Every structure is written in structure tokens, then in C-alpha cells.
């Protein structure tokens, strides 16, 4: 299964991502590190993103603002297409 996790570098997202990955899924994480904008350097989640990248080989991170409807739609369209290509 392929799963999209939003806020994937944050507390809840990283736990969800890890659980799906352990269950054998391919995981696409959407996170633009907005937490850094909110809280400054102490809120930066990039180290968590990098840790997850190293630990989860079927995880891919995309820096997408989930408020950007067009960008999120494009992710779903592209990821679905990649899945169809894998089937053929």
C-alpha cells in the first residue's frame, strides 16, 4: 500500500509514518517545516525528517504546503501515476 502522511516530520506524523512503514507500506510524507516558522529554530523539524529518511527506506519526503490545493492534487496525481506504472 502507498500512504500519504501530512505533517510527517512532526510528532504525530512521524509516529504514523513509522507505523505505516513498519507495516510494509510505501510512505510519502508532506511537510514544509512550517513548525520552524511558528516557533523559530527550536521548532525546526528537519532533523526528524532526516532521521526518518535514514531509518525508513520506503519513505519519501516532499516539501509541500498542504494548504496549497493545486500542489497537493499534483502529488496525488503523480503518485497514482507512479503506482500505475509499477503495475504494468
Ligand X SMILES: NC(=O)c1ccc[n+]([C@@H]2O[C@H](COP(=O)([O-])OP(=O)(O)OC[C@H]3O[C@@H](n4cnc5c(N)ncnc54)[C@H](O)[C@@H]3O)[C@@H](O)[C@H]2O)c1
Q: How many residues does the chain have?
A: 88
Per CB under 6 A, the list member of 21, 27, 28, 45 interacting with ligand X is 45
Per CB under 6 A, the list member of 20, 21, 28, 32 interacting with ligand X is 32
Distance CA 49, CA 39 (A): 17
Which strands, in side-by-side order, build the sheet including 26-30?
Answer: 2-6, 26-30, 59-62
Per CB under 6 A, the list member of 26, 28, 35, 59 interacting with ligand X is 35
Distance CA 42, CA 4 (A): 26
Stretch touching ligand X by CB under 6 A, among 3-11, 18-26, 53-61, 80-88: 3-11
- The residue count for binding ligand X (CB under 6 A) is 16
Amino acid at each position: 500500500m502507498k500512504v500519504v502522511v501530512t505533517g510527517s516530520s512532526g510528532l504525530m506524523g512521524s509516529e504514523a509514518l513509522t507505523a505505516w512503514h513498519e507495516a510494509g507500506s510505501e510512505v510519502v510524507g508532506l511537510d514544509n517545516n512550517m513548525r520552524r516558522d511558528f516557533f523559530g529554530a527550536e521548532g525546526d523539524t528537519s532533523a526528524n525528517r532526516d532521521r526518518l529518511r535514514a531509518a525508513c527506506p520506503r519513505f519519501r519526503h516532499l516539501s509541500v504546503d498542504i494548504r496549497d490545493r493545486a500542489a497537493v492534487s499534483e502529488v496525488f496525481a503523480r503518485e497514482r501515476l507512479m503506482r500505475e506504472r509499477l503495475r504494468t
